[in-house]
Amino acid sequence: MTLPLFVADGPLAPVGGSLVLTGEEGRHAATVQRIAVGEQVLVTDGAGAGVRGEVLATAKDRLELRVLEELAEPEPRPRLELVQALAKSGRAEQSIETSVEIGVDHVLPWEAERSISRWSGPKAAKGRAKWAGVVRAATKQSRRLREAEVAELVSSAGLARRIEEGAREGELTLVLHEVATDRLLPVLTGLVGDGPVPPVVRVVIGPEGGISPRELELFTEAGGHPVLLGPHVLRTSSAGPVALSLVAGALRW
């Protein structure tokens, strides 16, 4: 059985050293999952380093471990970024959860023209925190040693600027849209055989109402590449994970 994973707030310890897990993660380990003395767990710093340790003592909101082994997860290449439009009924969160399990490294919340859900005022900080919680849970479930970052909310204009800046650095932005003529898989196959892999592959997913014609033009002019997944229209909750699976399978796995 795979060992449970927790995320440390502070630095990890070397082999033979002691590591104390506190805060929400310590409480969850000791009180919710009821990890007992003698059991082994994994702990990560969220940045690619981790340890396997044996539990020496537990309390209400803490776990003390002896480190048995140091672990490392290599820096991924290319880095995968999910630009997820705000969506209603938890569909954006569903997309993020699965995308993290697949291996996405960066999540960018996007308030699209057709987004029904809006993060106005204080909702922006609350929404970002909620998405970060989804990322944390999916990171632990999938036993990843790298935790994806959730960026601040961007507008369509802000996203266009990010696409343009990334293009100058050799990044690839794939804009999923049903009117695109290029299919995603052939585009990825061409990348494998035509030279260096982009440092970042960005996948842009619209809301339930889709990416507007104005936004599609804006992103294309900025350097984005409109692509089609297949003959059917996918929900915003599934389009991102499907696209990222194809990207990871072609360029990273």
pLDDT tens string for the chain (253 positions)? 689 999 998 899 999 999 999 999 999 999 999 999 999 999 999 999 999 999 999 998 899 999 999 999 999 999 999 999 999 999 999 999 999 999 999 999 999 999 999 998 889 999 999 999 999 999 999 999 999 999 999 999 999 999 999 999 999 999 999 999 999 999 999 888 767 899 999 999 999 999 999 999 999 999 999 999 988 989 999 999 999 999 999 999 8
Task: Delimit the CATH 3.40.1280.10 region(s) of the chain.
Answer: 79-252
Angle, CA 150 vertex, CA 3 and CA 119 arms, to 5°: 130
Q: Cβ distance 188 to 203 under 8 Å?
A: no
Instruction: Compute and round to an integer the Cα radius of gyration of the chain.
Output: 20
Q: Give the pLDDT of residue 121.
A: 87
Q: Give the pLDDT of residue 76.
A: 94
| Domain topology for 79-252 | Alpha/beta knot (3.40.1280)
> Can you identify the CATH homologous superfamily of domain 5-72?
Hypothetical PUA domain-like; domain 1 (2.40.240.20)
Q: What are phi and psi of 106, to 5 degrees?
A: -150, 135
Q: Give the pLDDT of residue 253.
A: 87
Buried b (16+ CB within 10 A) or exposed e, 50-68: bbbbebeebeebbbbbbbe
Q: Give the pLDDT of residue 1.
A: 66
Task: Delimit the CATH 2.40.240.20 region(s) of the chain.
Answer: 5-72
Separation between Cα atoms, residue 46 and residue 110, nearest integer Å: 24
Q: Give the pLDDT of residue 209.
A: 92
Q: Give the pLDDT of residue 192.
A: 81
